[in-house]
Structure 1
Amino acid sequence: MTDLWRECSAALLAKAIGELCFEGLLRPDPGYELRFDDVVYTFSATRTAFGGWAVEPGSVRRAASGILGDAVVEPCDDVQRFVVDAFRFLRVDPATTAGFLAEVTATLAADVALAATAWPAAELAALPRAELDGHLTGHPWLIANKGRLGFSADDVARHSPESRTPVRLPWLAVHRGLAEFRGTSELSEDGVRARELDPATVERFTDAVQEAGVDPEAYVWLPVHPWQLDHVVRTLWAPELATGRIVELGEAPDWYLPTQAIRTMSNVDSPDRYQVKLPLKVLNTSVYRGIPPHCTLAAPVVTQWLAGLWRADKLLGEWGTDLLGEVASVTVRHPQLSRAGDVPYQWLETMGCIWRAPVALRPGERSWSLAALLHVDRTGRPLVAEYIGDTDLAVWFAALLRALFRPLLHVLYTYGITFNPHGENVVVITDADHVPVRVALLDLVDDVNVSVERVPARGLEPDAHDPVLPRKPWPVLRQYIVDALLVGVFRPLSRLLPLAEDRFWGMVRGEVDAYRDRFPTLADRVDSGSLTVRDFLRYPLNGYRITLGYRDLTARPPVPRTGTLPNPLHDVPPIPPPDGW
């Protein structure tokens, strides 16, 4: 286990150095040296797209003065030591250093658990998407991508994706004075119950409400994460439980696995039932993982609005691009904290749920999350190599761009709408040979943004009178594709595919140019939100936490801008799509 710990720590150390240099927080000397106040780190690395750094694990050396004043140079695989050294040099508040170190250590422990039970890429390629999620290694850009502050070691062993441990979900009945159900126009509250619960369970839950001495019709039913029930509902909501305004109904019989998003649960007994997104008062990947009440309230109407645009768009239909709509929700506001003023946001997001449509596969199709493209097994074999198999590499990558990138360009420039297409928010649907044929997009109310400029094609937004969807100018709107897809997925993917850099980015550029040529009337929008400019704004995801710290805030603050990134699409020769688009 010691060797495994060191192996994983060396890998996380390499990632930490690379991403902090990429974000401009650290600036290496030309010889790949980082000079801090009293120590020097050297390493081997290759430069990547967007000014990135790929640091070679095991190459790091640390030099410091010994007790006799002489320089002591030794191999370094200790990511914790590096964090403290670097943060002292950056004059990071010690309380922030402590919090970040706790997240890094939790991430390292999770990485060790993953490595100890790792499967070869060839075996992973055959797994269904829900099971595969438990083998993936997390966000490729965030250093502390499994921080999960609030989880104990037992909680991680029970509720983390890498535990691969199915759980049953408890259900609650919440009085309508506290809870509000919303659904799309074709989905009623009873319809959700009938789809999610078998008749025997409905009867059992109804009996539980009646035994509490209250009227079942006066209550809304919803699932709750078992961790949240024990750590938050039974404590923060204890008065409501004591007075019968909340009634515990028991567990439903289906088994669920957590996705990489940790608060979203996939039904593995009945995959045709909904995914369910549940709040967790756990800090993970930058924010607490509750669900804001404005999101639960707006989710179904945003889904219905987007679905209407989808049905009317012939190209999206031709491409088969799917939406995993958030079709129903329950909002529960805390009766006291909701009127207490500037309460830290995590206390206002402790109960509620969103039901999301499952992926509907056609005969012969398979699926995996976009994050799977970046997985590498312990022998160094990329999972994507198994997916490509004997297919011509350029043909396979062109198919991915056609299925994924082209619809995102179309929705951005035709409707002024952008998603946040990072690895957890996109399901890639393939044929039986793992060649991408289409995608499904998810996390609609949380991550959909619209242009400030009114776009007639998108009609009236569903939140025109009570805005929920952020309004952004074109240069900022495009940033969601830049950060989530180009930087967050394509930057590491370009190192895993044996394609020359110019060919990789040339094929991406080819899709952009082809779209502009196909729709000359949209040229002003394409230019205003151009993906081929010389530089993009840089939004440092790791620097966000380092500068923000761990103090309580009333809202999730935006990621601050710090400088620019060179754009590999700017001057690369475009390679037109092979389908003549």
Structure 2
Amino acid sequence: MRAFRRPDPVGDAVRCDADATRRLARPEQVLRTLWSAGRLGGVTHDEVERVAAELADSAANLALSYTRRDRKEASVHERAAEADWSDDRAYLRAAADPLLRSERLVVEGHPLHPGTKLRRGFGPSEVVSYGSEYDAVPEVRFVAVADEYASGDAVAGGPSLSERLYDLVPGLREGVSEAVSTAGRDPDAVTVLPVHPWQYRHELPERYAHEIDRGVVVPVPNCALPAAATVSLRTLVPRTGDPTPPHLKVSLGIQTTSSVRTITPQTIHNGPRVTDALDGVFDDGSFRSLRGIPETASACFHDPDGPHTDGPGHVRAKHLSALVRRNPLELVDDGSLPLTAAALLARGPVEGRPLLDALAPDGGTDATAAFLRSYAETVVPDALRLLVAYGIGLEAHLQNCVVVFDDGDPTGALVRDYGGLRICRERLAASGHAVDPYPGSVTVADEMGPAYDKCTYALVQNHLAELVRVLVRHRNISESRCWAVLSAVVAEALADLRREGVPEAWVDDAADVLFAPTWEYKCLTRMRLTDRSHSYVFESVPNPLSRPE
């Protein structure tokens, strides 16, 4: 058992009956066995079967990913000598986009969720065609939406989503003009949206059939943009010849883990607005190693009678929406190595061990502890500065963090996806900044609780705890030693904030939360079994950061 009472399974799962012991070969068998033994109180047979189907889909996709990984590793080994890939660091550095190459090494998906590789809505061929671990390069499609049925945002003084796309995609303006004119609309009165090819093929003709017939939504048939898939599936990196093209985040109506991966109108409008506020915060000058990745422009289908906080208008908006995010490579110094933090858990193709193990220096327990401290000092102090001094809780889980290494040493971190962060309105206002959110947004709250929760769950439980798990498994270091290191970094960061004049009451409040004896732990499997993905279920567990009195 690891921190937060998290089981770390070793060996096979077996069922021991009175007359036989047999191996349970598949996760849905484990689930059904637990239910039949009465260990899932309050869960119905139908709920078990629904989650069993999700587990089966996830397991099949994971097996497919493992097969792809094995073949990729064999190919890399064949080329390693000729390409001078002496280790995984050299393999990553050799890529034109090392961050994208690191994303393609992630085969196991969400580290905590029971449906880690669920792709409900995709068939097996689509899993391969659209997944980053298969080096997929889907062709983004485009639609034009009449301006009266569209809504969007952009950073202050910045171009709209349409203008950014016209600059990005050769021939798009002409293609839109032709398609829109044929539909009897004015090409100068439309908003252009990029659309995932799966969404273009499946959701667009069904969900927006009436609007297509009326010329309100106009597919652009002769324009497509090859774009490499990332771990996120719905975030794509255009292949344009530009070494640092903007990333496109598009709606995708399939279920991964607990959610259908659409983009709400709240996220669409808040992204550029939060970017403006965060850019001002980061420009205050007191941040050393962490930055946000700006979301510069966005738009969505938007029925004219909005705002749409829920109901049919909300659903229609979130299935046809997109935003543009700045390429992280633009924020990284030449010669540095940016990696998605999720890849640190993944097996490198050259050395055959987790990238985190490959990057951490040899030299015994003290060297490993020093590396973990260096990593934490790169991410934690600035994240806590945002939290305590500005009321901003970043969703800094593994997939959202880009960690920058210089000769193996962590030196910087970039956090993406502003849709998941949480802001305390009053705390941000006290620093001289503000965000005007779209109605119905959970991003901005009137108290600090949601921001604290983002820090404790995303940064600590999902991110740092997983790094500890890998180091304990592969290095001669104890879990207690790792958590002592992390607890010390948190304490030092809070002490720095006190010295710098952040109000004592704010720092004391944060310390009470971060060092509390217990934390609430999100019960993801229980939430799936009761289909409560949007209302959380928690259990109180010991907090490994807690410090003795």
| Whole-angstrom CA distance in 2 between matches of 1:212 and 1:402 | 56
Q: Does 1:212 align with 2:160?
A: no
Alpha carbons of 1:338 and 1:109: their partners in 2 closer, same or farther (altered >3 Å)? farther
Alpha carbons of 1:309 and 1:452: their partners in 2 closer, same or farther (altered >3 Å)? closer
| Whole-angstrom CA distance in 2 between matches of 1:311 and 1:100 | 46
- 8 Å Cα contact 2:175-2:223 kept in structure 1: no
In structure 2, what is the equivalent of residue 29 of structure 1?
none
Moved more, 81-90 or 515-524: 515-524
Amino acid at match of 1:532: F
| Whole-angstrom CA distance in 2 between matches of 1:453 and 1:201 | 43
TM-score w.r.t. length of structure 1: 0.81
Alpha carbons of 1:304 and 1:340: their partners in 2 closer, same or farther (altered >3 Å)? closer
1:221 Cα deviation from its structure 2 partner:
0.9
Q: Does 1:126 align with 2:91?
A: yes
Q: Does 1:292 align with 2:264?
A: yes
In structure 1, what is the equivalent of residue 396 of structure 2?
421
Alpha carbons of 1:400 and 1:195: their partners in 2 closer, same or farther (altered >3 Å)? farther
| Whole-angstrom CA distance in 2 between matches of 1:114 and 1:453 | 45
Alpha carbons of 1:73 and 1:337: their partners in 2 closer, same or farther (altered >3 Å)? farther
| Whole-angstrom CA distance in 1 between matches of 2:202 and 2:319 | 10
In structure 2, what is the equivalent of residue 448 of structure 1?
421
1:540 Cα deviation from its structure 2 partner:
1.1
SS class of match (1:126): helix
- 8 Å Cα contact 2:519-2:540 kept in structure 1: yes
In structure 1, what is the equivalent of residue 105 of structure 2?
135
1:157 Cα deviation from its structure 2 partner:
2.2
Q: Does 1:495 align with 2:469?
A: yes
SS class of match (1:281): coil
Moved more, 384-393 or 506-515: 384-393
In structure 1, what is the equivalent of residue 436 of structure 2?
463
Moved more, 328-337 or 84-93: 328-337
| Whole-angstrom CA distance in 2 between matches of 1:465 and 1:172 | 24
- 8 Å Cα contact 1:374-1:493 kept in structure 2: yes
Q: Does 1:151 align with 2:122?
A: yes
Moved more, 231-240 or 256-265: 256-265
Q: Does 1:507 align with 2:485?
A: yes
Q: How far does the alpha carbon of each residue in 1:114-134 deviate from its partner, in whole angstroms, 9 at most, with x for none?
A: 211225595487232213323
1:358 Cα deviation from its structure 2 partner:
0.8
- 8 Å Cα contact 2:379-2:413 kept in structure 1: yes
Amino acid at match of 1:548: D
Alpha carbons of 1:464 and 1:325: their partners in 2 closer, same or farther (altered >3 Å)? closer
In structure 2, what is the equivalent of residue 3 of structure 1?
none
In structure 2, what is the equivalent of residue 71 of structure 1?
19
In structure 2, what is the equivalent of residue 306 of structure 1?
278
1:459 Cα deviation from its structure 2 partner:
2.5
| Whole-angstrom CA distance in 2 between matches of 1:559 and 1:447 | 15
TM-score w.r.t. length of structure 2: 0.85
- 8 Å Cα contact 1:266-1:275 kept in structure 2: yes
Summarize the alignment of residues 78-89 of structure 1 with structure 2, pairs less than 5 Å apart.
Answer: 78-88=26-36, 89=38
Alpha carbons of 1:180 and 1:339: their partners in 2 closer, same or farther (altered >3 Å)? closer
1:177 Cα deviation from its structure 2 partner:
1.4
| Whole-angstrom CA distance in 1 between matches of 2:404 and 2:260 | 30
Summarize the alignment of residues 28-39 of structure 1 with structure 2, pairs less than 5 Å apart.
Answer: none
> Which of 529, 534, 559 matches 2:536?
559
- 8 Å Cα contact 1:418-1:478 kept in structure 2: yes
In structure 1, what is the equivalent of residue 353 of structure 2?
381
In structure 1, what is the equivalent of residue 2 of structure 2?
48
Alpha carbons of 1:80 and 1:570: their partners in 2 closer, same or farther (altered >3 Å)? same
Amino acid at match of 1:330: A
Moved more, 132-141 or 91-100: 91-100
- 8 Å Cα contact 2:346-2:355 kept in structure 1: yes
In structure 2, what is the equivalent of residue 160 of structure 1?
131
1:169 Cα deviation from its structure 2 partner:
0.6
Amino acid at match of 2:5: G
Unmatched tracts of structure 1, length 5 or more? 1-46, 65-69, 550-555, 574-581
Q: CA RMSD in A?
A: 2.8
| Whole-angstrom CA distance in 2 between matches of 1:398 and 1:348 | 44
- 8 Å Cα contact 1:367-1:429 kept in structure 2: yes
- 8 Å Cα contact 2:345-2:467 kept in structure 1: yes
In structure 2, what is the equivalent of residue 28 of structure 1?
none
1:94 Cα deviation from its structure 2 partner:
2.6
In structure 1, what is the equivalent of residue 84 of structure 2?
none
SS class of match (2:20): strand
Count matched residues: 508
| Whole-angstrom CA distance in 2 between matches of 1:465 and 1:292 | 10
SS class of match (1:280): coil
In structure 1, what is the equivalent of residue 372 of structure 2?
397
| Whole-angstrom CA distance in 2 between matches of 1:413 and 1:523 | 10
Q: Does 1:527 align with 2:508?
A: yes
In structure 2, what is the equivalent of residue 41 of structure 1?
none
Summarize the alignment of residues 532-543 of structure 1 with structure 2, pairs less than 5 Å apart.
Answer: 532-543=515-526
Q: How far does the alpha carbon of each residue in 1:346-382 deviate from its partner, in whole angstroms, 9 at most, with x for none?
A: 5552101111111122111121111112224699722
1:144 Cα deviation from its structure 2 partner:
0.7
Alpha carbons of 1:233 and 1:124: their partners in 2 closer, same or farther (altered >3 Å)? farther
| Whole-angstrom CA distance in 2 between matches of 1:347 and 1:99 | 26
| Whole-angstrom CA distance in 2 between matches of 1:287 and 1:196 | 30
| Whole-angstrom CA distance in 2 between matches of 1:74 and 1:466 | 54
> Which of 324, 346, 351 matches 2:293?
324
Alpha carbons of 1:251 and 1:276: their partners in 2 closer, same or farther (altered >3 Å)? farther
Identity %: 22
